[in-house]
A and B are shown apart, each in its own frame.
Chain A
Amino acid sequence: MTIYDVIFYVVSLVVVAATAMAITRRNLVHAVVYLIFSFFGTAILFYLFGAPLLAALEVIIYAGAIMVLFLFIVMMIDPEWRQEIFFPLSQWLPAALFGTVYLIAGYLAVSRAPGNAAVLKLVMATPREYAVYVFKNHWLSIEIVSLLLLIALIGALHLGKGENRVEEDDV
């Protein structure tokens, strides 16, 4: 058992625990901060699996931009901390049953499948290799995705425009 194994298992535990805390919080700010912890752990795992550029992007985009956007929205519109109603137990039981069945089936499939016991090797794709690979093989997809980001910008601008604001007595 090397130091990398210890890092993997410890960070995985932290990621799962932070995510579980995040999805059960009633306070949205707490949930977002727990999720930032989870994304930092995921970035460490990315680095461990040999993707340093993606680890940096995970911190910058996920933990940085996206989560800060969530924080802005939560702080901008005060949701007056209304108590959220959870579903009653009679609706829970079938969902929990089906979910458990799928979980067991998935675990059995994963543990019995050939090749899944293969050990992950330590590799590192430098940003240069990664960029060359992406722009050689996926240049068209990169262009399409950049167009998608432009569309998102226009859509968010349109939705947030002041003209869409409805007067109070109109609601």
Chain B
Amino acid sequence: MSVPFEHLLLLAGILFFLGLFCAVARRNLIMIVLGVEIMLNAASLLFVGSSARWQNLEGQSFVIFILAVAATEVSVGLAIIVYAFRRTGSFDPGGYNLLK
């Protein structure tokens, strides 16, 4: 394989940027959580690639923790989204202004 490491860095950077765009620009709670997932996925891709670059398993062992944290975040986050939807009837975070 003759893929230079910088191409992997660029791929992970582009994916992270796409996820960041999704989390910042979309006005829908489900899409925001999806953007966070994309960012976590880009980070774990870079961890696995670095593990191959330095021939060290430390990067791969991080990914399993990222997986666990992503699963936790999604389950609790989606439960909170369902709860907020029940109370307000909307996914738009701009509409959550009960404290106003």
Contacts and interface: CB of A to CB of B under 8 A. Distances in A.
Interface of A: 1-2, 4-5, 8-9, 12, 15-16, 19-20, 22-23, 28, 31-32, 35, 38-39, 42, 45-46, 48-51, 54, 57-58, 61-62, 65-66, 69-70, 73-74, 76-77, 79, 82, 84-87, 95, 99, 103, 106-107, 110-111, 113, 115-123, 125, 129-130, 133-134, 137-138, 141, 145-146, 148-149, 151-153, 155-156, 159-160, 164-166, 171
Interface residues of A, dominant DSSP:
helix
B64 to A, nearest CB: 7
A48 B11 CA distance: 15
The 8 A-B residue pairs with the shortest CB-CB distance, nearest first, are A23-B22, A159-B79, A152-B72, A116-B6, A4-B1, A49-B52, A156-B79, A145-B68
Contacts of B75: 69, 152-153, 155-156
Interface residues of B, number: 70
A151 B72 contact: yes
Contacts, number: 216
A95 B24 CA distance: 10
A1 B83 CA distance: 52
A129 to B, nearest CB: 7
